[in-house]
Amino acid sequence: MIAVTGGAGFIGSAIINALNKKGIEDILVVDHLGSSLKWKNLPGLRFADYLEKDDFIAQARNNTLGQLDAIIHMGACSSTTQVDATYLIKNNFQYTKDLAIYAAKRGIRFIYASSAATYGDGSKGFVDDESNLEELHPLNMYGYSKQMFDLWAKRMGFLSSIAGLKFFNVFGPNEYHKADMRSFVIKGYEQVRSLGKLSIFKSYHPDYMDGRQKRDFLYIKDAVEAVLFFLDNRNISGIYNIGTGSAHTWLDLANAIFSALGVRPVIDFIDMPDYLKDKYQYFTEADMTKLKRAGYDKNPTPLEYAVKEYVQDYLIKEAHL
């Protein structure tokens, strides 16, 4: 059985969908549904069982979990604006530590989500070199909670047997429940449909004109392909970037949304909230050399095609994977 934490969430549910397409249904979904709408990601999926995240970790700590072949740990607080450091430590760091220890003692394949937020302002580059982990300085507590586990895993020697995936800016279907943490694509789509225009933050960096800030935007289907690569290749471990290797501007992304809707672009540049100004990443671009060297040979979906598919096949139809 494969356990997928965050299995009702964005990336987790997309992973289960991909496993189902490979004929795999012996899956344990782990999540915290609460009163959120992420339960809507589950009805189209096939899985053996469901556990709330607190029950799952309690069983792991008490050694009462059933037999598992792999744990794909996507469950975490992904809010980059979360300021409750104690919550992030318990939810993103301690929880992941306990699962990693449980998996290590039993020879269970452990794949976990790190984040490109660990790279901070990018002044140290975006190379997934484990020898340089200590030099990275995340800009927010979310990024630091992910960095803490990366560093702990390195100190413990776990990176020789587990796989940590530094996801860049992932977008695509099944993110509907993520409120403010939804991608620019879905937010922009909603703005264009309701207002006929969309808004982009102004730049406060002299090296970037308004709208020319750049990010590595990754389609969810490409992110999932990379996760399954590590599931299929259990001998490949360590920390790896999961991106496209090619940064695009916010204007590129905005124009792709307008193109998918067949609408003339109308863009407003708006002030960035003060609380974001010193935490904003103006440029991210995954160095994909290490992953390719490991044998991953799939090319990412071109940005305009990915946005078109997301908008026309999912957003307009309000469809899930």
Active site residues: 142, 178
Comparing C-alpha atoms, which of 164, 173, 170 is closest to residue 313? 173
Q: Position 285: which residue type?
A: E
How far is residue 87's CA from residue 73's CA, in Å, rounded to a whole number?
A: 18
DSSP 8: T
H-run or E-run covering 275: helix 274-277
The answer to whether 236 touches 266, Cβ cutoff 8 Å, is no
Secondary structure of 52-117 as H, E, C letters: EHHHHHHHHHCCCCCCCCEEEECCCCCCCCCCCHHHHHHHHHHHHHHHHHHHHHHCCEEEEEEEHH
Q: Position 43: which residue type?
A: P
> What is the secondary structure of 278-300 as a DSSP string?
TT--SB-----HHHHHTT--PPP
Which residues pair with residue 269 across a beta bridge?
A: 200
How far is residue 262's CA from residue 276's CA, in Å, rounded to a whole number?
A: 32
How far is residue 68's CA from residue 6's CA, in Å, rounded to a whole number?
A: 16
The angle that helices 141-156 and 95-106 make with each other, rounded to 10 degrees, is 30
